[in-house]
Amino acid sequence: MGFAIPINTVRSVADQLLKYGEVRRGRLGITFNEPTPALIRNLKLSASTASPVIVKVDKGSPAEAAGLRVGDVVSEFAGTSVRDTADLHNRMALLSAGAVADLIVVRRGKPMVIRATIADQEKAIRSK
């Protein structure tokens, strides 16, 4: 049995190990899901929505500070179109604390750019 690790993940981890001696995971503070029929209906989204939908924004998080909202559909993250929740999750995990990410979200049918600064996940966990 074998498995593969995307090269971008390997590079990110290696760079962080060399720079900090540890891996520093970033945190945006959102929870998102695939756009199920029930979610589309409950949030009154377009039936053609295919990108991840934000279902929770943590209080005091970088996402809240940036203006992200429940119901926003994430169509692009850090300059690349988002395919699905796994894609978004994997790309978010590559960002370290202090990184700035532009998200293109669709809110009430209109695209908008939101810039968020990624927080340090360990500090966020300790402060809860």
Domains and CATH numbers, the chain: 7-126 (2.30.42.10)
What are the DSSP E strand ranges found in the chain?
26-27, 30-33, 53-57, 73-77, 80-81, 100-107, 110-117, 119-120
The reported pTM is 0.78
Query: What's the whole-number average pLDDT of the chain?
Result: 85
Q: Are 58 and 73 in contact (CB under 8 A)?
A: no
pLDDT in tens, 80-112: 999 889 889 888 877 878 889 999 999 988 999
pLDDT along the chain (128 residues), means of 10: 75 84 83 89 79 94 95 92 88 83 92 92 52
